[in-house]
Every structure is written in C-alpha cells, then in structure tokens.
Amino acid sequence: MFKYTLVIHGGAGTILKTDMTDEKELAYHTALEDALTKGSEVLAKGGAAVDAVRAATVSLEDNILFNAGRGSVFGKDGSQEMDASIMDGKTTMAGAVSAVQHIRNPVELAYAIMTRSQHVMLNGKGAYDFAVLNGLKTEADEYFFSEFRHDQWIQMQGSDEAALDHNVIVKDKKFGTVGAVAVDMHGNIAAATSTGGMTNKQFGRVGDSPIIGAGTYANNKTCAISCTGHGEPFIRAVTAYDVSCLMEYKGLSLEQAMNIVVHDKLMKIDGEGGMIGVDAKGNAAMVFNSEGMYRGMRSSNGINEVKIYK
Amino acid sequence: MFKYTLVIHGGAGTILKTDMTDEKELAYHTALEDALTKGSEVLAKGGAAVDAVRAATVSLEDNILFNAGRGSVFGKDGSQEMDASIMDGKTTMAGAVSAVQHIRNPVELAYAIMTRSQHVMLNGKGAYDFAVLNGLKTEADEYFFSEFRHDQWIQMQGSDEAALDHNVIVKDKKFGTVGAVAVDMHGNIAAATSTGGMTNKQFGRVGDSPIIGAGTYANNKTCAISCTGHGEPFIRAVTAYDVSCLMEYKGLSLEQAMNIVVHDKLMKIDGEGGMIGVDAKGNAAMVFNSEGMYRGMRSSNGINEVKIYK
C-alpha cells in the first residue's frame, strides 16, 4: 500500500561519466542517499511533506558537494549570496529568500518567512536580520569556504563570464541547485529549492530558485515541483506553475505535464535543466533535458534509487 | 478599424470618494490622462507595445502622487527601495529589478536588464551598479522626498506595522503600484509594473511587482497583464500567468480569465487588489476586487476613459 514518496535533486547540466572519478561518483551517491534518508525518516514517522522537504534540503545544503548552503559558489565580489524557497501544497503558503549571506540553511529561513512573517519573500540584509531575530543558525565565511569553489572563482575573476555551477567552463554547463518534493501519508505535498547561484555572478543576479511559480510550486490539487536549470528561461516560462496549470486546466498527468514543459516549452527558449515532481496521489517523476541530473527517489512501496546520468 | 489600445493603473485599494477632495481627484485624473497621452503617442506613431508601456509607466513614476519612482514610500530604515518589471509579449523576454535605490525610472532599468543583460532579474546594489554602467538616470534622496510620504513614515516609525500604500492606516488598504499594458498596430503586446512597496516595510520585503508571472506577464499568444494589490497572495497565486494559462489551456477569453483570477481565486486567499490586461486581438479589461483602482484606457477606436472608483 502506498504511503509516501520523496524525490530530490542536486542540480542538472553537462554531467558526463567521462568527467567523473569513481571516488567522486561515490561521494555524490552517498550525499544523495543521506538526503533521501533524512527526508524519508520524517515521512515514515507520519510527518508532514513540508518537513520532509526541509530535512532533505538541509542535508544537501550542509554538504559541500552541492551549490547551496555550505557549498555555495563565489560571486564576482567574492561573497556568497544564496536563494531559497519553499511551498506547502496543503495551504499554498510559501516562503522565499534571495541574496542572503551567512545563513547556514537558507531553506529553513524560507520556512521561517512562510510560517513566522506576513510576507512571502525577503531579500538581502533585511532577510538576514529577520533570520537572526528568529534564531536561525548563521555561520562565518570560513564555514562556506572550500578550496575547490575558491579556485573556480579565482579562475573566473576579472572576466565578465559567470558559470552556472560546479564547473568553471561556461560551455560545460552545470546548474547548481538542490531541491526536494514529497507526498506524505496524509496526502499532502510540498516543494523546496535552494541555490548558491552562479560562480562570478554580477549585479545581484537572481535566478528562478527563490521565485514562487518559476523554481518552486506546490498545491495539493495538482503537484509539487522543484526546478534546476538555467534560471532565466525558467523565470520567463513560469516553469513550476506551468506544470500545475497543464494538470489543472488541461487534465494532463504529472509526468505528461512535466515532459511538455521540460522537453518542449523550455527547449524552445534554450531552457536547459530539469525538475522533480510529485502529486497527491503518489505519482512522482524526474525529468531533464540536460546530459545529467543528480537525483534520487525513495518511497514506502520500495522504490529506492539514486542516479546521475541519463 | 482597430489599431491600438493602452491601459494603465496607478494602484488599487480602499479608495473612497468620501476621502477625496475635488482638487485631489482632479490631480489623479490629470496624472492618469498624462500617462495615457505619453503611451498613446508611441502607439499612434506605429511604435511597439513595449515602448508604449515604458512611456506610460515612466510618466506615472515621475509623478509624486503614485507610489513608484519619485513618489515611492519610505521603508522602516527611512530608505526608498523600488521594484519593477517588464515583459515583451512578442519575444517573451523579460526584465525585473528588486530593492533598488536612487534610480529615477525603475521600469527603464527593468527594460535595460531585459535588452542589455543575459539576466532577467537583478537586485539591490548590483542592480544599481548595472544601471550606472548602462547610463540610466539616478537621483539623490531629495528627488524622492515629499513631506506627505515622510509624514506617513514618521507616523508609522517605531511600530512593526507596514502600510501597503498611500495611507498610513493599515486597515485602510491601498496598494501603491503603477503599471501599463498595451497592444500595438502590429499585434504585439507588452506589460510593465513598478512600485515603491510598503510604507515602513521591513526585512527587505519583496512583493509581486518584480516577479514575472505574479505581478507582470506578457505573451502574444495569450495576454499582457499588470497587477496591483496585496503582493503576498498575488505571488502565491502566480496571478498574472494564471490568466494566461486559463486562456491558453481552457480557452477562456481575456475578461473571463481575469474575472476568475481576481474575483474567485484571489478572493479565496484574501488577495485584495486588481489587474489590467490586453490581448493581441485588442480586447482590454480592468478588473479589481477592492473599493477602487486608479485606472485608464485609451484606444484608436475612440475609447478614452479615466476612473477611480467602482
């Protein structure tokens, strides 16, 4: 009997087996397994979907491998600015944060904005002040520092190029975002997304991750979606909400709607990337139009998979 | 023969005739007429819808009466942070700016982001730097200062309340936003929205105005929409794009779709406010669920109206 499902992603892009060592591959697999375990534990105990996506996303944010939370990339000025959002399909309440620094878990800040403020979206220094006032964990620069990320940034510094992810070569695109969607035992669904943005990003660029409707959307009536990809086309296509509308207004299934958005609508505007989704009936899907997507799924009826490539 | 239509708004909310003097009413009428003239001149010459919505929005931003550009309200810390967005229905390209200071015309900055950057959304200090680099007009604090706005802020300072608009009494809600939508002689449509946010706003709150899909959306296939209202429910409902989806996926007319979103979907989540819309066939509508909405419409086939109340 179906009880719950959790789906996660750790970013999409030009992820090729030929570029990967066994050691690195194992590290990603372990990290994704850990996040699935953290989120599934919540669901197995009868917990809420919104708490499961928080737990899974926190686990990914705490892992230096992914471009979110601890592993966030460096912007043009050497600072690390993070974006995150969360939406609860039961209530359609949402929280989002953009361009925040020194917050250990931006997804928890998005959750605090959703549950403890009158607002949906807070930004920058103001968002940081709200986090401190609400007792969220902050960390000094050292916590977010890794030789690897810093080297990436040093290589790009002085150029006007910006890399969307783990890799410094722009043509070798990787979209560093993490996210989770879940359906719980009570038939409620939720979605969360978190990112450190683009290496060497300039001008306070905001991608789709903190935009409700673009990077994240959840509504029990339709679906919970978390996206990863080239943020600009994802914003223009209102990607996550488009899946919901195709289900609500055209009667498509979750997977049909996700396929149309990812393989047709996004492709037409050079929108490389992917998304994960669930609906309240327990259907789940992971769809992408890039070479790879770090992803995993675990459910009460025995599905337990972690994948990287096509 | 139909050639073009321009629709504008200057915010919605509890706007009552009993609170208005003849002098004030005349000032609003004149300001709205001016903006219609500026935008219509572009359309009458065969100009593009996107240039018409820029011209009309700039006119409203330059007028101290409206909470956008020059007339922006004061935030909690006494600063004026502005948001704006624009979308061209011909290309579905979009530009948006959030939490920017000292920019004379935030809608022009959103347009510069759309046309001269690889990004859709820029934020804060970075957005300001991009504006300066691209030669956009900046202004000192004095330009944005008015006794009226400052008095509003002084009255609210020290409190944790935030007013959504012109009026300091929160229960007397007015949503200070300006916006324009247009269809041009070539059958192209566009939308723009601009705001100074909430008086005494805290924590870097971002409303729906700079969010593509929520406050602004345009696509020649469906509609161009600019919203004004209580930003949080408008973000959660992905308001502007929802109108587009109801047209594209359910085959509803512009006005049917706008009525469902404003009078049904938004009302269910306490989403007070309204929107203006056009489609590529030249249909136009102004729909709101609040007491009033500063609004106007002018078209090549003789429509020329400015209204405030229901």
* Predicted pLDDT at A166: 41
DSSP label of B162? -
Closest by Cβ to A204, choosing from B122, B241, B249: B122
Q: Calculate the alpha carbon distances from B27 to A2, A239, B20, B33, B142 in Å.
A: 63, 41, 11, 10, 22
Q: Calculate the alpha carbon distances from A45 to A41, A42, A48, A87 in Å.
A: 6, 5, 9, 21
Domain extent listing, chain B: 5-309
ipTM of the complex as predicted = 0.94
Q: Which residue type does B173 have? A: K
* Predicted pLDDT at B165: 47
A106-116 helix and A124-133 helix, angle to the nearest 10 degrees:
80
Q: How far away is chain B from the Cα of A241, in angstroms, using its nearest Cα?
A: 7
Residue with tokens 């229901």: B310
Closest chain B residue by Cα to residue A209: B121
- Phi then psi dihedrals of residue B162, to 5 deg: -135, 135
State pTM to two decimals. 0.95
Closest by Cβ to B232, choosing from A120, A206, A250: A120
Q: What is the pLDDT of residues A81-109, one digit of tens each?
A: 999 999 999 999 999 999 999 999 999 99
Q: Is the dihedral of CA B226, B231, B232, B233 positive or negative?
A: negative
Secondary structure, 3-state, B92-107: CEEEEEEEECCECCHH
Cβ of residue A93 closer than 8 Å to a chain B Cβ = yes
User: Could you tell me which CATH number the domain at B5-309 has?
Assistant: 3.60.20.30
Q: How far apart are CA A120 and CA B208, in angstroms?
A: 9
Residue with tokens 């928080």: A54
Q: What is the pLDDT of residues A159-216, one digit of tens each?
A: 666 665 444 444 446 678 999 999 999 999 999 999 998 877 888 999 999 999 999 9
Residue with tokens 């939508």: B181
Contact A99 B123 (CB under 8 A): yes
Average pLDDT rounded to a whole number, residues A153-161? 70
For chain A, the DSSP string reads ----EEEEEEEEES--GGG--HHHHHHHHHHHHHHHHHHHHHHHTT--HHHHHHHHHHHHHTSTTSSSGGGPPP-TTS---EEEEEEETTTTEEEEEEEE-SBS-HHHHHHHHHHHSS-SEEEHHHHHHHHHHTT--B--HHHH--HHHHHHHHHHTTSS--BSSS-S-TTS-EE-EEEEEEE-TTS-EEEEEEE---BT--TTEE-STTSBTTTEEE-TTS-EEEEEE-HHHHHHTTHHHHHHHHHHHH---HHHHHHIIIIIIHHHTT--EEEEEE-TTS-EEEEESSSEEEEEEEETTS-EEEEEE-
Q: How many CB atoms lie within 10 A of CB B172?
A: 17
Contacts of B36 (CB under 8 A, 6+ apart): B6, B8, B56, B296, B297, B298, B304, B306
Q: Which of A123, A133, A173 to mutate to test the interface with B (most CBs of B within 10 A)?
A: A123
**Given 3-state DSSP classes, what are the helix, strand and coil percentages for chain B, each rounded to the nearest 5?**
35, 25, 35
Residues of B forming the active site: 177
Cβ of residue A94 closer than 8 Å to a chain B Cβ = yes
Helix (H, G, I), strand (E, B) or coil at B86: strand
* Predicted pLDDT at B169: 44
Range of lowest pLDDT (A202-206, A247-251, A282-286, B44-48):
A202-206
Contact B175, B294 (CB under 8 A): no
Buried b (16+ CB within 10 A) or exposed e, A173-210: bbbbbbbbbbbbbeebbbbbbbbbbbbbbbbbbbbbbb
Cβ of residue A49 closer than 8 Å to a chain B Cβ = no
Decide if pLDDT at A2 tops 80: no
Q: Which of B76, B115, B216, B238 to mutate to test the interface with A (most CBs of A within 10 A)?
A: B238
Q: Which of A98, A203, A230, A272 to mutate to test the interface with B (most CBs of B within 10 A)?
A: A203
DSSP label of B30? H
Low-confidence ranges of chain B (pLDDT < 70): 1, 158-174
Closest C-alpha among B266, B306, B305 to residue B288 = B266
A106-116 helix and A49-61 helix, angle to the nearest 10 degrees:
150
Contacts of B165 (CB under 8 A, 6+ apart): B11, B13, B67, B73, B173, B174, B175, B176, B198, B199
**Partners of B100 in the beta sheet?**
B82
* Predicted pLDDT at B168: 42
| A296/B176: higher pLDDT | A296
Contact A119 B232 (CB under 8 A): yes
* Predicted pLDDT at A157: 72
* Predicted pLDDT at B164: 52
Instruction: Sort out which chain B residues have CB atoms less than 8 A from A245's CB and list them.
Output: 241-242, 245, 249
* Predicted pLDDT at B1: 63
